[in-house]
Amino acid sequence: MAFDKKTWANNQAGGTPLDASGLNDLEDRIESGIDEKADKSWAMKNLPLVNGWTGTLVYDIHDTGLVHLRGEITAGVIANNTVIAEYILQNYRPEYQCNVPVVIDADPSKAGLRLTTSGRLQIRGPLASELTEGVTIRINYIYRC
């Protein structure tokens, strides 16, 4: 079945037909993929890397309470529980400690970090034994704070 903008708009409006100006505005928003509320609800912040780790790691929060942590970082000091990033702002920290899956260039099957309630991103035990300095790690993780 083909996508019919007028039918979709009519259904979204509770069955009340939209006038031409309302439909045009809705068409513009659908076609451009822009929603003003969504644009304003994300505020990206850099997360400082420590212990010789380099790269970019950012996080932002949506008005629904979901936090998106993402970036590409390169290994520095490697040991179990080594802090690699810290200072996630209080309102962005997870309520419970969570394990963060990551992708490693060297071996995608061996991965894992820990995000603590104090706002620190740490190496988990299994990952510490598999990493070597200079290996690139990719992170793309969403959690609720």
Number of structural domains found in the chain: 2
61 pLDDT above the threshold of 80: yes
- Count the neighbouring beta carbons within 10 Å of the beta carbon of residue 14: 6
Domain CATH for 121:
2.60.40.1830
Asked which of 23-27, 69-73, 80-84, 97-101 is least confident by mean pLDDT, the reply is 23-27
In a domain, 40, yes or no: no
**Nearest of 23, 71, 63 to residue 47 by alpha carbon:** 71
Q: Based on the fold, state whether residues 53 and 115 are members of the same structural domain.
A: yes
Query: What's the pLDDT band for 109 if we cut at 50, 70, 90?
Result: low
- Same domain, yes or no, for 18 and 65? no
What domain range includes position 65?
Answer: 45-144
Is residue 39 a part of any domain in this protein? Answer: no
Residues 52 and 115 in one domain: yes
Which residue from 76, 78, 68 is spatially nearest to 47, judged by alpha carbons? 68
Query: Whole-angstrom Cα distance, residue 134 to residue 131?
Result: 9
130 phi and psi, to 5 degrees?
-105, -20
Is residue 121 located within the same domain as residue 58? yes
**Does 17 lie in the same domain as 72?**
no
pLDDT digits (tens, 9 = 90+) for 68-89: 999 999 989 988 889 999 888 8
Of 10-19, 84-93, 100-109, the range with the highest mean pLDDT is: 84-93
Q: Are residues 62 and 122 in the same domain?
A: yes
Same domain, residue pair 117 and 53: yes
- Domain assignment of residue 137, yes or no: yes
Angle between helices 20-32 and 5-12 (to 10 degrees): 110
Do 30 and 49 lie in a common domain? no
